[in-house]
Amino acid sequence: MMENLLYVLDVVKEWFVYAQKNYRKQALLFLVMIGVLIAASYSIFPSAREKIRAKEMEVLVNNDFLYPNKVKTIHYHELDKLLKEKPAVTVIFAIPNGKEYTNLLKLMNKEKEVSAMNRMIYFYPIIYDLDELSQKYQLNVKKGMIDIIFFSGGTEKNRIQLSSETVMNNQVIQRINTLAVTEK
């Protein structure tokens, strides 16, 4: 046992002597190894960032709505999957902060208003990829608007755009309910 420990100490000592003599090679080797580790982390674990973002969205937004049987949060990068799986979906797109979002929460957390909804509404909080989502779905969230879009068969059929003033209007739920029956 003691011999093994002495052998390990000799190996470590030899490595330090070699490193002192060849410190430039060692420094270069160390930097290359760090670079390889960083590159490997991006290529081996590409879904790690997606999982982190999904968890962040869950923590930040998921508990905001008091009636999950009527308003459900869509997690990061699950929107396309939802649109393919469901034949008809109403999605609220909004940045989860600011006056518009606060007013939306007040509205969607009123039992009287929520009980008047005729179907499940999905909420997609825009935290990441704002420009990409704005372009793909022609959203006006940068201008302080909330976009509510009805999709049928994965394609947009109708939309409502709400400002912070119109969110608190008691006709909003009625307008959301009629999205499915009216065409553009």
Number of H helices and E strands in the chain, helices first, is 9, 5
* pLDDT value for 122: 92
183 and 158 in contact (C-beta within 8 Å)? Answer: yes
What pLDDT is recorded for position 151? 93
The structure's pTM equals 0.69
Q: Do 89 and 148 contact (CB within 8 A), yes or no? A: no
- Asked if residue 77 lies in contact with residue 50, where contact means CB atoms within 8 angstroms, the answer is yes
In the chain, where the domains are located: 2-44, 52-178
Provide the CATH number for the domain formed by 52-178 in this structure: 3.40.30.10
Per-residue pLDDT 10s for the chain (184 aa) are 677 778 877 877 777 777 777 777 777 777 888 888 787 777 666 667 777 777 776 666 666 777 778 888 887 778 889 999 999 999 999 888 888 888 888 888 888 888 888 888 999 888 878 888 888 888 887 777 889 999 998 899 999 888 766 666 667 888 888 887 655 5
3-state secondary structure of 7: helix
